[in-house]
Chain A
């Protein structure tokens, strides 16, 4: 993860050079069986003709991509216009995932900083504490969250009992509930890489900045943040990407009223639609988008490294 990127450099001597091919085999096998093969299958399926009620007919077709980008009316015989439905669904997903990422960053950064500034021997304990809730299945955690947040749930009861509010705050089945659910689901992915980056940060740099009359805010912005940036960006990507494709939180906490990309794709395979090529096409478009985001990040990193170097 970020650790590798930051410590940098490759080993000068290659101890296992002779057996390299064999040692890399497991990685190659995993990659080709679990990544390449499914992605290739998806790519192929997205260009096939849909079979009624699921399945594909082995004939080349662009219908899936056409459906995604062009609106031909309810009956499919009007002049094509730009189809906004799916773009809207994608935009909503990006927005929700973005909000969840920012929430995670706001809570995750101070948490990571806190852990990294504890005495060295107690840090593993804090990291351990962060991961404990994640030993429980995601579905169960999401359902529990629904129980906690509901109008007559413990959260609202507590706020009413201590006199903070009179009527329950309506959270469940709103966009905010979805963001909260995503934030909670993926928080450790934000905390851990930032923690790894802050832990390696040389705190004497902050002291030096203070000696030179930098305010705390300036120290944070100009000294600490640039130093831990790779960790922050890695954390953001690790939260943003799975959030985009998630469908548990939107279904359970958001009331499934509005499709997110994940639920749209799920519907093509598990719902009435049974339109496998369209599901595959939507997945490919999602993946392409994520890849572009990652490429932009990688290129900027490379440029930044060049400027620094």
Chain B
């Protein structure tokens, strides 16, 4: 009974939002849109009495821009992608998690415990990981889709029906894979080729859109869409007859991570929330919602069995090598920016 009262009080406090003063304090999240189930936040509040406030963003870059424009110190935690963790650490925007501060740190799966973008997990814990490739509407095209030609040199059936992600990093990485060159290569001939290839490919693209990458596939506005694996799975569940491609040239793999921000106003609560997310049951709830894998041990019993069987999560034997998006240096990035502007002028 007392527990029930506690839960309902907490729920009430949450409904009243930030105005409700709570003895246990607050936690302010800066998170992607549509990426955490509300039930899970409610559960955290019920368990700890901590009120959670959340703002959302729609790209790693816009999150970085708003933090640099002065929002640092407002938020406790953010959820950047792999390469952005490195950028934020280099920019000095992250706080360090000391040894022993996270009780559940041992739950992190071995392969994600010491990633290249955050050695030793000094600032971050895994949130979700997956891949970025593209999905093709099988009603429109029946041929082989496991090649980046579908995006950059499409067959006639698909020309003019392609939606690309409106994200320089994703497009450039995929384009580099298509041309078989290193990401962030500063070789002049290669950069010129990249520029020319993208300009030519654009003629076959219908739009650039990240926010509605799923909707355009469901509605049929696009027959091909560059997309994250979880979004592709959701689009299929919503009725689109699409298949997710694993190009032989390779595809992008990514991991989103919960990072402790510098000057976090509620550092203690932030660490509690990180521990909370490292509980297999809790992070599995995120996976069930977002349709991505988690990078935490022991989630097997809690994740939706359907999730393990998703074609988006099970690359065929002949799939190309998955690669992380790389962080270019200032000089190469300036040229990438020019190519991107050229592409969209």
A residues with CB within 8 A of B:
52-55, 74-76, 85, 88-89, 147, 150-152, 172-173, 251-252, 255-259, 263-264, 267, 269-275
Interchain nearest-CB distance for A207 vs B (Å) = 53
Which residues in chain B, 50-89, are within 8 Å of chain A measured between CB atoms?
Answer: 59, 61-62, 64-65, 68-69, 87
Interchain nearest-CB distance for B160 vs A (Å) = 9
- Number of B interface residues in the complex (CB < 8 A): 41
Interchain nearest-CB distance for B180 vs A (Å) = 20
A53 touches B168 (CB 8 A): no
> In the complex, which residues of chain B have a beta carbon less than 8 angstroms from the beta carbon of A255?
163, 206-209
How many angstroms from the CA of A89 to the CA of B188 in the assembled complex?
26
Partner of B168 from the list A76, A257, A271 (CB cut-off 8 Å) is A271
> In the complex, which residues of chain A have a beta carbon less than 8 angstroms from the beta carbon of B206?
173, 255, 257
A272 touches B65 (CB 8 A): no
Closest to B220 in A: A152
Partner of A74 from the list B166, B168, B192, B207 (CB cut-off 8 Å) is B192
How many angstroms from the CA of A255 to the CA of B211 in the assembled complex?
12
- Is B333 among interface residues, defined by CB-CB distance under 8 A? yes
Most buried by B among A151, A257, A258: A257
- Is B336 among interface residues, defined by CB-CB distance under 8 A? yes
A256 touches B209 (CB 8 A): yes
A257 touches B336 (CB 8 A): no
> In the complex, which residues of chain A have a beta carbon less than 8 angstroms from the beta carbon of B64?
53-54, 274
B residues with CB within 8 A of A:
59, 61-62, 64-65, 68-69, 87, 91, 163, 166-169, 188, 191-192, 195, 202, 205-209, 212, 219-221, 330, 333-342, 344-345
- The 15 sampled A-B contact pairs (Cβ below 8 Å) are A54-B65, A54-B68, A54-B69, A74-B339, A75-B188, A75-B335, A88-B345, A150-B221, A251-B209, A255-B163, A256-B166, A258-B345, A270-B65, A271-B340, A272-B168
A52 touches B336 (CB 8 A): no
> In the complex, which residues of chain A have a beta carbon less than 8 angstroms from the beta carbon of B339?
74
Most buried by A among B59, B166, B212, B341: B341
B341 touches A85 (CB 8 A): yes
> In the complex, which residues of chain A have a beta carbon less than 8 angstroms from the beta carbon of B62?
270
Most buried by A among B163, B336, B338: B338
Partner of A257 from the list B91, B212, B344 (CB cut-off 8 Å) is B344
Closest to A71 in B: B338
Closest to A88 in B: B345
Contacts A54-B69, A256-B208 given; 5 further ones with Cβ under 8 A? A52-B333, A152-B219, A256-B166, A258-B344, A270-B65
> In the complex, which residues of chain A have a beta carbon less than 8 angstroms from the beta carbon of B87?
53
Interchain nearest-CB distance for B251 vs A (Å) = 20
Partner of A270 from the list B61, B188, B207 (CB cut-off 8 Å) is B61
> In the complex, which residues of chain A have a beta carbon less than 8 angstroms from the beta carbon of B209?
251-252, 255-256
> In the complex, which residues of chain A have a beta carbon less than 8 angstroms from the beta carbon of B69?
54, 269
Interchain nearest-CB distance for A114 vs B (Å) = 36
How many angstroms from the CA of A251 to the CA of B336 in the assembled complex?
21
Interface SS of B by simple majority? helix
How many angstroms from the CA of A74 to the CA of B219 in the assembled complex?
38
A273 touches B340 (CB 8 A): yes
How many angstroms from the CA of A180 to the CA of B339 in the assembled complex?
30
How many angstroms from the CA of A264 to the CA of B337 in the assembled complex?
11
A52 touches B221 (CB 8 A): no
Interchain nearest-CB distance for A133 vs B (Å) = 22
B338 touches A257 (CB 8 A): no
How many angstroms from the CA of A89 to the CA of B341 in the assembled complex?
10
How many angstroms from the CA of A258 to the CA of B344 in the assembled complex?
5
A257 touches B65 (CB 8 A): no
How many angstroms from the CA of A269 to the CA of B59 in the assembled complex?
12
Given contacts A74-B338, A152-B219, is CB(A257)–CB(B61) below 8 Å? no
> In the complex, which residues of chain B have a beta carbon less than 8 angstroms from the beta carbon of A54?
64-65, 68-69
> In the complex, which residues of chain B have a beta carbon less than 8 angstroms from the beta carbon of A85?
341-342, 345
B207 touches A257 (CB 8 A): yes
Interchain nearest-CB distance for A270 vs B (Å) = 4
A259 touches B330 (CB 8 A): no
How many angstroms from the CA of A255 to the CA of B338 in the assembled complex?
20
Partner of B61 from the list A151, A252, A272 (CB cut-off 8 Å) is A272
Closest to B336 in A: A272
A274 touches B65 (CB 8 A): yes
> In the complex, which residues of chain B have a beta carbon less than 8 angstroms from the beta carbon of A151?
220-221
How many angstroms from the CA of A147 to the CA of B218 in the assembled complex?
12
> In the complex, which residues of chain A have a beta carbon less than 8 angstroms from the beta carbon of B202?
257
Closest to A273 in B: B337
A256 touches B207 (CB 8 A): yes
How many angstroms from the CA of A76 to the CA of B64 in the assembled complex?
27
B337 touches A74 (CB 8 A): no
How many angstroms from the CA of A263 to the CA of B208 in the assembled complex?
12
B191 touches A74 (CB 8 A): yes
Closest to B66 in A: A270
Interchain nearest-CB distance for A100 vs B (Å) = 20
> In the complex, which residues of chain A have a beta carbon less than 8 angstroms from the beta carbon of B333?
52, 272
Closest to A92 in B: B345
Interchain nearest-CB distance for B53 vs A (Å) = 22
Interchain nearest-CB distance for B306 vs A (Å) = 29
B208 touches A257 (CB 8 A): yes
Partner of A259 from the list B61, B188, B335, B345 (CB cut-off 8 Å) is B345
* A-B pairs, 7 with minimum CB distance: A255-B207, A272-B168, A270-B62, A256-B208, A52-B330, A273-B337, A85-B345
> In the complex, which residues of chain B have a beta carbon less than 8 angstroms from the beta carbon of A147?
219
Interchain nearest-CB distance for A55 vs B (Å) = 5
Closest to A263 in B: B344
Closest to A153 in B: B219
How many angstroms from the CA of A75 to the CA of B166 in the assembled complex?
24
Closest to A52 in B: B330
How many angstroms from the CA of A193 to the CA of B202 in the assembled complex?
42
How many angstroms from the CA of A147 to the CA of B221 in the assembled complex?
10
